[in-house]
Amino acid sequence: MLIVRYVLLSCLILAASNPAWLQKRNLPEPRIFEIAAAIDGTIYCVTSGEDGMPGTEVRAYDPSTDTWQTKSRANLLRHSFGAGELDGRIYIWGGVAEGRLVSSTEMYDPKTDKWTVKANLPRPRLFAKGAGVNGKLYAVGGIQPPGRNQVPLID
């Protein structure tokens, strides 16, 4: 079986007042992103570490200058993780690291460009998405090993 992937480096913009996508400055190199979050006028994207790509790094795009910056890497390089934004910080959880499912959680703070380890998920999960509501972050959906379905709260 042959699997071919084309990892993109393009950046496109769609304005509500314009029905067409417009090309913006490309990434310096192709990346696979798991989350993009707009925080204080900058778009922060967290990369996946899949298939030999450098993993779990932050790339920051400034729309006002049309430029990209490389930010810090997470403590644990992983792919297929869940992610969400809450109160101006990006959280990643679960995924695959070093060939095994993980339940660890980390938080990225754009103001300090630092990652902090947070509480583990009750069970490993892949591809969950997150939503912040009333100061709490919910990890919703995804894939997890056999067991009951849960919606954990990352507090």
Q: How far is CA 84 from the centre of its chain?
A: 7
Integer CA distances (angstroms), 138 to 40, 49, 84, 111, 130, in order? 22, 23, 8, 23, 5
What is the chain's mean pLDDT, rounded?
A: 85
Give tens-digit pLDDT for 34-90: 788 999 999 999 987 655 555 788 999 999 999 999 999 999 988 889 999 999 999
pLDDT of residue 150: 57
Give the 3-state secondary structure of 113-147: CEEEEECCCCCCCECCEEEEECCEEEEECCECCCC
pLDDT of residue 34: 78
pLDDT of residue 118: 97
Spatial distance between the Cα atoms of 42 and 83, rounded to a whole number of angstroms: 17
Q: Which two tokens stand for residue 67?
A: 């430029």
Q: Strand locations in 48-128, DSSP E?
A: 57-62, 67-73, 82-86, 89-93, 96-97, 100-101, 105-109, 114-118
**Whether the predicted pLDDT of 97 surpasses 60:** yes
Q: How far is CA 7 from the centre of its chain?
A: 16
- List of domains in the chain: 22-154 (2.120.10.80)
- Give the bridge partners for 93, in sequence order: 82, 105
Give tens-digit pLDDT for 5-22: 556 778 888 888 888 999
pTM for the full model? Answer: 0.84
pLDDT of residue 39: 95
Looking at residues 123-151, what average pLDDT do you find?
Answer: 82
pLDDT of residue 63: 94
**Whether the predicted pLDDT of 131 surpasses 70:** yes
**Whether the predicted pLDDT of 111 surpasses 70:** yes
